[in-house]
Structure 1
């Protein structure tokens, strides 16, 4: 019996030792959030985010993302709670070396800063399915808005899980200015609003705790990261009408997919890819002389190589 016990112990030791050096396979993972149809009475006009999701899903598949690695939240699935749950699941499943892609197509809105970390006294927020347009004291005070501070913290968690060998890409096809609806004088759809979500007497002032602001920094052990936004803070995010398909898309999403397809087998750095993205957006709106929409990019290092995912 002693001989067999020693053999069993030795086998268990070998298994544990081997497990210590086992490295999980790198994986592509994605979360796509698209809200086209907001509930009646919420104050938000419908947009064409569902078309963005189909376009992005096709691109990710071409870049080696498996169906099981892509989570899509559409309309009523994309409540604040649903988005947080999906982000938590993504964070739980992400492992060292993974490439993670987050994509949001929805409305956006500025709202009063709640922790003093903003230079202009305003947070930017994405608008989940169950977020209301108006500030109603005691009834709705922004509980279902997804603030930039919250999203920034989730991005940091994903960076930590993906590690230095991984990568995190974020695309935000929303904006925080404009009219928030279809412009009456043209066939133009806008994603965002100029209405600031705050009490009527709120006056934005520079925050006293700006050191709390989450900015992307290159840090040891954290994944390189790049965030693309549809436009600058003072610009409007228009949708793009593809005449070949007779279909509307988010301008950033459409241009991003075109640029990524063209370069998916080419290793560009973040700066070069961003330049290509700007050129694409300018070309797509060349016949819209009054529009000025410039994608905004923030990253950990502009010289990092840009890849949407691990090679298929």
Structure 2
């Protein structure tokens, strides 16, 4: 049965109350949530999950978003009956205009359609605590929660909140029927035989009903119905649902005026870093403002929350790894009496958890008033620069590979919890991504194997670093990347023009090898910048798209509110999730040689921060901090698939 976890501060008749479920909720439109998280099941055939971590992180996230009610239905409470009672409790609390969030972390599965309303003959289901994993043909699904019933509950909630309200469903599970593989837990497995499993794209769960007076409905899931949904590790190394992590991080980065489509783009970028083997899905009213515009947006500065010592040389700050504030970051403390920063104090982050950091100051804070100073990050520390590697090789090959790579401090050799596994089988070397056990590369075991393995691992480290590189602040450059599937033609002057444009919906923008692309880069900020554009392929190979052949670095310059367009003539393999990374700077730069040589460039030719980044990556050393006053990044994620056979 659900229980109220916390109610945020409610101002009622001028008094401040800290509420619980027994208090009357505010009559004005507000934000309310239900978190359904199942870490272990009555049927022990279901694999345990790390859904308790999802709940802890999401609860803190929603508290920071000023939700007035957060109901929880966890583990043994989350039987089929318990889940429906929790939905009823949320319904009872809901008021016209409310913004409701329902989040599910647990297993999912597919059952044979029992009403004949599914085109693919399958019902997608949530798996309550008491639902069985294996069953015979006579089982009617009475302990599962089918998509039809969930849809009825969503419609009831939409009717209750009315046309000015919202119902948002986050689903951190899957229905693919894929069993656990690799070292990351899969959130779903079907009791059905493989010939019944869905082959449709999309989430497979979304069936929206339209009508006057209904609240807006938004549904975000962690994977297609045909894909497994893997757990990942957060920035503290703790296992968590990949979508739960991405949602929390996206809320911490929320900007004013963000619609769900843009919010989903942020989630997609994070998922591409943490769970590159799956495709999150967005369905419903994607152009609505996130939480109806009632969301708490990313602050321009961080607040001091406490003093660590009596001398005021260490303070705690209300931001952590989910806000991108990592150990080693440099910050400035600016007094409210000195808006120009004449009396700034400097400090360094020495500890960082999901939502809080500890800062050591170069000199004591002169006042005990925590509200007197605002905290700004000015130099970004890059935390995830190392690769955890495991090997299963013969003794001789193990020794040879270690001797070749022992100088590389970016490689951490481990016996478990590895990101990448290198193993041999007969005459082939396999490099495997451990999260989903997918073979990333296959190399022949010839006389070049150790050099090819070194090159492959360096590519992986470089791609990982670039995917996760996020340089954003209130003072940094702002840009938008967009790549649209099109058909191009040349005019009489030889210039490309778009003759057909295809819009995408659902998950990542999808391109087949029959498509062409139209790339737009827009400076959405107030400051001009120089830029390079990097292409990061699914297998980790990186290349510089811009500047291209014949371009000088002085030409890649974008003024405020200016847009540049570039035709992409061909879309080619490898298939999978690809990322374009825009690197921005206040000074011109050219990364073509640095990327081509994987950072192996002379020190005297690598004075630019981005060139230094690639050089440290090649040497396997920790990257320098990156100045947020001079640099910025933007990303665009898309999927490449084979062309359909005619």
CA distance in 2, matches of 1:311, 1:104: 20
2:261 matched residue in structure 1: 271
Aligned to 1:54: 56
Q: In structure 1, how many angstroms separate the alpha carbons of the residues matched to 2:31 and 2:135? A: 39
Q: Any residues of structure 2 matched to 1:114-129 within 5 Å, and which?
A: 114-129=114-129
Q: CA deviation at 1:63?
A: 0.6
| Distance apart, 1:271 and its partner CA | 1.6
Q: Deviations over 1:37-77 (max 9, x none)?
A: 11244x211011111011110111011113xx111111100
Query: What residue in structure 2 maps to residue 288 of structure 1?
Result: none
The correspondence for 2:278, drawn from 274, 285, 293, is: 293
Q: Are residues 88 and 194 of structure 1, via their aligned partners in 2, closer, same or farther at CA, if it must alter by over 3 Å?
A: closer
Trace 1:90-239 onto structure 2 (pairs within 5 A).
90-137=90-137, 140-181=139-180, 183=181, 186-196=182-192, 215-239=207-231
Instruction: Look up the match of 2:429.
Output: none
Change (3 A) 1:272 1:311: closer
Q: Using a 3 Å threshold, how does the CA distance of structure 1 residues 39 and 180 change in structure 2: closer, same or farther?
A: farther
Consecutive unaligned residues in structure 2, runs of 5 or more = 1-25, 199-204, 297-646
Distance 1:64 1:125 in 2: 31
How many Å separate the matches in 2 of 1:280 and 1:214? 23
Are 2:40 and 2:49, in contact at CA under 8 Å, matched by a contact in 1? Answer: yes
Query: Under a length normalisation based on structure 1, what TM-score does the superposition of the two structures give?
Result: 0.79
Q: Aligned partners of 1:214 and 1:268: how far apart in 2?
A: 23
1:209-233 Cα distance to aligned partner (Å, 9 max, x none) = xxxx972255321111101111011
8 Å CA contact retained: 1:163, 1:222? yes
Distance change in 2, residues 1:309/1:56 (3 Å): farther
Shift of 1:136: 3.0
Give CA-to-partner distance per residue, 1:174-198, whole Å, 9 cap, x none.
10125343x2xx321111115427x
Who is 1:253 aligned against?
A: 244
CA 1:303–1:109 in 2, change beyond 3 Å: closer, same or farther?
same
SS at match of 2:163: coil
Q: Distance in 2 between matches of 1:127 and 1:245?
A: 29
Measure, in 1, the Cα distance between the counterparts of 2:31 and 2:226. 34
Q: Is the contact made by 2:110 and 2:191 (CA closer than 8 Å) also made in structure 1?
A: yes
Q: What is the alpha-carbon distance in structure 2 between the residues aligned to residue 204 and residue 178 of structure 1?
A: 7
Tell me the CA shift for residue 87 of structure 1.
0.6
Cα distance change of structure 1 residues 115 and 36 upon mapping to structure 2, 3 Å threshold? same
Deviation at 1:306, TM superposition (A): 1.8
Question: How many Å separate the matches in 2 of 1:74 and 1:233?
Answer: 24
Aligned residues of 1:268 and 1:306 also touching (Cα < 8 A)? yes
Note the C-alpha offset of 1:302: 2.4
Inter-CA distance 142–269: structure 2 relative to 1 (3 Å threshold) = same
How far apart, in 1, do the equivalents of 2:226 and 2:196 lie? 18
Normalising by the residue count of structure 2, what TM-score does the alignment of the two structures yield? 0.39
Aligned partners of 1:64 and 1:309 also within 8 Å: no
The reply to whether residue 310 of structure 1 matches residue 258 of structure 2 is: no
Question: Equivalent residue for 1:209?
Answer: none
Specify the alignment match of 2:492 in structure 1: none
Q: Secondary structure at the match of 1:307?
A: helix
Could you list the per-position Cα deviations for residues 148-176 of structure 1 after superposition, in whole angstroms to 9, with x for gaps in the alignment?
11111101110110111111111000101
Contact 1:132 1:142 in 2 (8 A): no
Q: Rg: which structure is higher?
A: 2
Q: CA deviation at 1:94?
A: 0.8
SS at match of 2:253: helix
- CA change 1:187–1:144 in 2 (3 A) is same
* Offset, 1:235: 1.2
> Contact 1:162 / 1:223 at 8 angstroms: preserved in 2?
yes
Q: CA, structure 1 residues 35+214, in 2 after alignment: closer, same or farther (shift >3 Å)?
A: closer
**Structure 1 unaligned blocks of 5 or more:** 1-22, 206-212, 286-290
**d(CA) in 2 for partners of 1:203, 1:296:** 22
Higher helix share: 1
- The corresponding residue for 2:354 is none
